[in-house]
Amino acid sequence: MIIRQLSVFLENRAGRLTELTGILADNDINISAFSIADTTDFGILRVITGKPELAEKVLKEHGFAVKITDVIGIVMRNKPGALHHALQILTDNGISIEYMYAFASGDDRATAVIRTDAPKKAIEVLQLHEMELLQAGDVYQI
């Protein structure tokens, strides 16, 4: 299923990430996953939160540049070859990946968050191959 992810541009200065996490905490917004890519002058925080629309609103109110994008999450066994298998399915079906990040949990499972230019097609293809997808209820606060 499609998951809403925030991309936040952060200046490379001490305390900026702490400020962002404080704003989210003050607004009862949980962080489910994140990745940071940096350059000399700024970083891009990609974050999945429990309340993406509220997170976007409050961060913009505090001067952060925020964009919401759609990503998918593939849930698989945390074992050698599992990610390769999922990526091979996408490759075989002509689906390219713009970027991804992944994490493993203690229950022998791993999740790869993937940004592609064809998320709906990716979902259809992965479901045809009986791959488990991250559900909105797995990350969003109800």
C-beta of residue 27 within 8 angstroms of C-beta of residue 55: yes
Which of residues 15 and 142 earns the better pLDDT score? Answer: 15
What would the mean pLDDT of 36-65 be, rounded to a whole number? 93
C-alpha–C-alpha distance, residues 129 and 7, integer Å: 30
Q: Which ranges of the chain would DSSP assign to H, the alpha helix? A: 16-26, 52-61, 82-92, 119-128, 136-139
In this predicted structure, the answer to whether residue 133 has a pLDDT above a threshold of 80 is yes
Query: What domains are defined for the chain?
Result: 2-68 (3.30.2130.10), 70-139 (3.30.2130.10)
Q: What percent of the chain has pLDDT over 70?
A: 99
pTM for the predicted model, two decimal places: 0.87
**pLDDT of res. 11:** 87
State both tokens at 3.
């998951």
C-alpha–C-alpha distance, residues 114 and 100, integer Å: 4
53: helix, coil or strand? helix
